[in-house]
Chains A and B, each alone.
Chain A
Amino acid sequence: MIEVQHLTKRYGRVTAVEDVSFRVERGEIFGFLGPNGAGKTTTMRILTGFIPPTEGKAIVAGFDVFDQPIEAKRRTGYLPETPPLYPDMSVIEYLTFVAKIKGVPTAERRQRIQAVMERTRIDDMADRLCSKLSKGYRQRVGLAQAIVHNPDVLILDEPTAGLDPKQIIETRELIKELAGDHTIILSTHILPEVSQTCQRVVIINKGHVVALDTPDNLTARLRGSETMYVQVDTNGLDAAGALQRIAGVTRVAESDRRDGLVGYEIESQHGRDVRRDLARAVVSNGWGLLELRPMRMSLEEIFLSLTTEETPTPMPAITEGEPVHE
């Protein structure tokens, strides 16, 4: 549905985006993650045809954004960072104008606008001036504007920025509802948002792609080995030796100890599940097993470790392809 090939954008001597490539399949929600100034907005602006790339190409819904801009734009809905509202128009006037310039046929226009207003829950604000809308409503009108012509591709630049928690949840739900009919790219710097809404994520930093995978794989893959956390009640005995002997365990480290309860971090070989053996070893020694859980890096940690890396290249392990065993 969307194909980006070796996209590069330079402003004078400043390189905003360099050699970015990815594909997004039909119906997918694709997350764009990166710190501020990483090149998310630039990439999105190229995809929507707002600015041309310096090098590389972008194909949206089968049309080259640069060679056939009108066809590509007809199939793209775009919500910029600040919703592009005309303050002196009412919501319904605004959507009518957008529907006209996006090429919604006159016969369908009214019905289409009504459907979109209901879907984004702004129908109670139809006659309100855009300048009088609250931030949450502005964002929703922006979203309504993006889907009014029923585009194949939706590009949303930080759709939840500046909303309150309830609105954020509503917006996320709405985005999930829209996936399926539409292929969605959304950018954000809020990490939980990505793991909650997106099927795949690209992390970009300083204009480079540093990782591209599913949120689950990203969390799983970043460490070469699996780590488990076990908390046991050994009545003061040291369990480390017994745990170390389990086949597949590479390292045991005590992580905390209080009131006779000891917590261990247990690293095992990559792709080897040692949970059953761990549980058996603890129980057969007559200790109490209080907690056993896999320790994974949160997306925050991955994000930080990827984006604070001096050079983005030493993370070659994090590319798409190879399946992950847990």
Chain B
Amino acid sequence: MSNILAIAHKELKSYFASPIAYIVIGLFALLYGYFYVAILAYFVRQSLQMSEFGGQGPQAMDINQQLIRPLMTNVTILVLFVMPMVTMRTYSEEKRSGTIELLLTSPLTDFQIIMGKFLGALALWGIMLLVSMIHLAILFVYGREWKPLLTAYLGLLLLGGCFLSVGLFISTLTKNQVVAFMLTFTVFLFLWIITWIGSFAGPTVDSLTQYLSIIDHFDDFGKGVIDTTHVIYYVSFITFGLFLTAKSVDSERWRA
């Protein structure tokens, strides 16, 4: 465990030693802020219209349904762009600079190295999420309920974890960070839009693609619901990504 933490700590520190952490956190906070303001403005205008009707509108305004949920759906798109930047260098850089020789000749198991790298990246994602909470803190001035937000953030954390695990795998495949970025991005874009063919290809394919779609599983978290189906989906997705990473690192050893 101390080995895992040592590597996680080193990873996190190396993000902050390079511009990557600042760029990734900055971009994320900026775009998150933009989505937040835009959706909030829309929400405010709708509330005003509602009050002109004297509260007699077709349905009551719900801040969870009409602010948090669309916000989170938009934020997941940010994840698509930001996560490949986080993982693109994890293995690629170690391979390029030769430091992988240090890690692989130290008394560490592959599992410890991979978990360390994964947790380091997840910690950076956690920091990004913490920064984004600043926007939401304003809502609490008006007495918000924190539970739906917590589930949404749990969902984001898990969603990010999926990206990180697959990004980690892809970065073991190449020494080139740009290649790692592009491949990771493409894989996730594909998982994003996989449902598009579902509607044309019959009910079986439809339900299959819906199950595979990484984003459909997020919906309930955005609503403030923790459904174990989705938690299991994300956790198994992460496990699978890390498993692929382990296999790739191991096979690399035989080919190297």
Taking beta carbons and an 8 Å cutoff, which residues of A are in contact with B?
Answer: 11, 45, 48-52, 69-71, 73-74, 76, 78, 80, 82, 84-89, 93, 97-98, 100-103, 145
Among A49, A50, A84, which residue has its beta carbon within 8 angstroms of that of B99?
A84
A84 partner residues in chain B, CB cutoff 8 A:
97-102
Least CB distance, A108 to chain B, in whole angstroms: 14
Distance from A74 Cβ to chain B, minimum over Cβ atoms (Å): 4
Inter-chain CA distance A76–B106, complex, in Å, is 8
Closest to B253 in A: A51
Selected from B3, B14, B105, B106, the residue in CB contact (under 8 A) with A86 is B14
- B7-A73 in contact (CB<8A): no
Say what secondary structure dominates the interface of chain B. helix
Please tell me if the beta carbons of A103 and B105 are within 8 angstroms of each other in the complex.
Answer: no
Q: Would you give the shortest CB distance from B118 to chain A, in whole angstroms?
A: 16
Cβ-defined partner of A52 (8 Å) among B107, B108, B253: B253
Binding site for A on B (CB under 8 A): 2-3, 6-7, 10, 13-14, 17-18, 97-109, 253-256
Cα A46 to Cα B255 with chains together (Å): 13
A73: chain B residues within 8 A (beta carbon): 105-108
Closest Cβ of chain A: how far from B210's Cβ, in Å? 43
8 Å CB contact of B103 from A69, A71, A87, A101 = A101
State whether A50 touches B106 (Cβ < 8 A). Answer: no
Chain B residue numbers with a CB within 8 Å of A88 are 14, 17-18
Nearest-Cβ distance from residue B211 to partner chain A, whole angstroms: 39
**Contact of A85 with B104 in the complex, beta carbons under 8 Å:** no
- Contact A74 B10, beta carbon cutoff 8 Å: no
Q: Are A101 and B108 in contact (CB under 8 A)?
A: yes
In the assembled complex, which residues on chain A have CB atoms less than 8 Å from the CB atom of B3?
100-101
* Closest 7 A/B residue pairs (Cβ): A88-B17, A84-B102, A100-B6, A48-B105, A73-B107, A74-B107, A84-B99
Q: Which residues of B contact A89 (CB under 8 A)?
A: 10, 13-14, 17
